[in-house]
Structure 1
Amino acid sequence: MQNRFWTIVLIVLVAPLPIGMWAAGRAMFFWWHGPIDPATPIEVAAAGDPPLVEQAGMVRIASSHALVGSSNSSQLDRKPEHEVDLDAFWVDIRPVTNDQFAQFVAATDYRTTAERRGSSLVFDLDRHEWLEVNGAQWDAPEGPLSTLAARGDLPVVHVSWDDAVAYARWAGKRLLSEAEYEVAARGGLMESTYAWGDQLHGSMPQANFWQGRFPQQDLGHDGFRGLAPVAQYPPNRFGLYDMAGNVWCWCHDWYAADYYFASPKQNPTGPLSGEARVLRGGSWLSTGGAGSELAVSARGHAPPHHTASNVGFRCASDRRPVQRTDFAATGSTTR
């Protein structure tokens, strides 16, 4: 009985020591390093699991707990800022290009929404306005007299949500959810405004977007007036290119302006129905003013049949991707 008594006493006296040592060490850490900067990348990987794995043109984003939306945006559909828990997923490093989409069409004889309709929206840089152009489609981006010659590495445009889903299924992939897109775009930056940080303009261009007075003049300070080939700007901290600017990207979700008030915390995928699908990332026509479409929290939307010269997509997957042999070919599409 006495041995048991002294054992209990010893446990009571010694047990607090590890807790105290942990607390002292934590206090010493913050005294030495200062408070954590919200722009510091967060750890999104489980213990012992590398945060980034690249394979077959995709990057693995480990399961994560993150904030999405914005608490200070002037755009009400970005509020409230809220927490999400996402399972691990794979995401394309770059948006789908004309060359890749051409391989899909060659393998399936698929006809896009714009081809079946006979027209699509083109932003005319000379007239400074949107035009419904007969014959504009993915392989004739400005109309019947245009081609994809020397444009194989540009992101495919004039694709509807249905076209993007069809390609993704053929490739053994899917579209990203809206929450996945935002978490991937942030690249581990907890509360940054853009995929690269809080400043729109830095020492070098970070994305392809409209500089100048819209729609009269695009100054082209980023190197392009119009679409740019993919991966012309630095990737974010997850190694992903063009998460902002160049082309809007279709997401899986239906759009609802008030969805964030009812969004589930675990793997949200949007409302069950709607009239428009979510678009993310902004485009070459996006400006950097208040409520910028280039912000990681920006939510675009359009009907699923919408096609335009600034809308494309990228894909995601729940499983480790396998390199398709028919993706090995390089060079510009001339179909």
Structure 2
Amino acid sequence: MKFRACNFLVIPIFAFSACSGQSESEPKAQSCVIETGTFANVIGGTAKLGSEQHYREERPLRKAEITSFNIDETEVTNGQFAAFVDATGYITDAEKPQPGYDVTGGAVFVEPTDENPSWWQFIDGANWRHPEGPDSSIKGRAFEPVVQVSLNDARAYAKWAGRRLPTESEWEYAANAGADTEFVWGDERAPNDKEMANSWQGTFPIENTLEDGYLFRAPVGCYDPNNFGLYDMIGNVWEWTETVYQDSAGEPIHVIKGGSFLCAPNYCRRYRSSARQPQEAGLPTNHIGFRTVGKISD
């Protein structure tokens, strides 16, 4: 089975890999560390959601009334998630053995080869501390978005923080920030050759030219915020929402939003606010994270 990097990942249990995963290179040094744990108020109103111009699952173009809320200015980081784990002793789904199997781990993007053309593998030992497998680490990456978290892991963090996950409509409304353009920053993906979000440059999945300086995830806040002051709503990592994509007799399928560092012009043009993808709620990967929302204080 071949797994699409920006599509719904269904990795069969027999696909577990004993390999340790690829090691990440150090992220590009850049002065983009900003304060985390801060919120932006989003004043409610009429939202224009979806698109008629792109992928079928984004249709129809529709309107919805949104109630005011606040939202994390950044994706939840490794440092923030570590504080939660330290305070609670929480164990993520990727750190627990899969039912009936003595393995733990999550899905990891790997460069395809002639011998193995698939670019997703379930790596034993991949988890939020070791996003690409046991040979990888988050040391020195406290400001990168946490990944290898399931929907329930994200919910657990949000509950601990006294918050919740956004609905798809809330997320898209916040990402648009009043913009009515193809991308939240305008109608060009890279105006004046400036990369506006952490995505894949080059031909996916065989060549990443690294024009934005990042092979995997970037620290939060390395790109300009949108009009609401929110960073990385597009690119970097997909983000969980509470919205169910479709009913399922088995594990729930939820909507993820925003695209990731794996979305490329030739393959996954989902670095737009209207883009949406289904994701198995219990499957952690190294390209999905989250942010939380809450009530605006009186």
Shift of 1:201: 1.0
Contact 1:277 1:303 in 2 (8 A): yes
Shift of 1:290: 7.4
Q: Give the ranges of 4+ consecutive aligned residues of structure 1 lying more than 3 Å apart after TM superposition.
A: 125-128
> What is the aligned partner in structure 1 of residue 237 from structure 2?
247
| Matching of residue 163 in structure 1 with residue 153 in structure 2 | yes
**SS class of match (1:255):** strand
Pairs within 5 Å for 1:52-63: 57-63=38-44
> What is the aligned partner in structure 2 of residue 236 from structure 1?
226
Identity across the alignment (%): 38
Distance 1:55 1:131, change over 3 A: closer
Pairs within 5 Å for 1:1-335: 57-73=38-54, 75-117=55-97, 118-125=104-111, 127=113, 129-189=119-179, 191-203=180-192, 204-256=194-246, 275-289=252-266, 292-320=269-297
Distance 1:290 1:158, change over 3 A: closer
Shift of 1:288: 2.5
**SS class of match (2:148):** coil
| 1:313 maps to amino acid | F
**Alpha-carbon distance in 1 for matches of 2:251, 2:284:** 18
Shift of 1:319: 3.5
Distance 1:194 1:274, change over 3 A: farther
What TM-score does the superposition give when structure 1 sets the normalisation length?
Answer: 0.71
| 1:104 maps to amino acid | F
Cα deviation, 1:160-182, whole Å, max 9, x if unaligned, reads 00000000000011001100111
**Alpha-carbon distance in 2 for matches of 1:198, 1:151:** 32
| 2:109 maps to amino acid | F
Cα RMSD between the aligned structures?
Answer: 2.2
Stretch deviating more after TM superposition (86-95 or 273-282) = 273-282
Contact 2:112 2:205 in 1 (8 A): no
**Alpha-carbon distance in 2 for matches of 1:221, 1:211:** 6
**SS class of match (1:84):** strand
What TM-score does the superposition give when structure 2 sets the normalisation length?
Answer: 0.80
**Alpha-carbon distance in 2 for matches of 1:243, 1:195:** 9
| Bigger radius of gyration | 1
Q: Aligned residue pairs: how many?
A: 252
**Alpha-carbon distance in 1 for matches of 2:75, 2:253:** 21
**Alpha-carbon distance in 2 for matches of 1:78, 1:274:** 23
| 2:187 maps to amino acid | D
**Alpha-carbon distance in 2 for matches of 1:133, 1:292:** 26
**Alpha-carbon distance in 2 for matches of 1:291, 1:150:** 29
Contact 2:251 2:281 in 1 (8 A): no
Contact 1:195 1:243 in 2 (8 A): no
Contact 1:120 1:137 in 2 (8 A): yes
**Alpha-carbon distance in 2 for matches of 1:150, 1:55:** 16
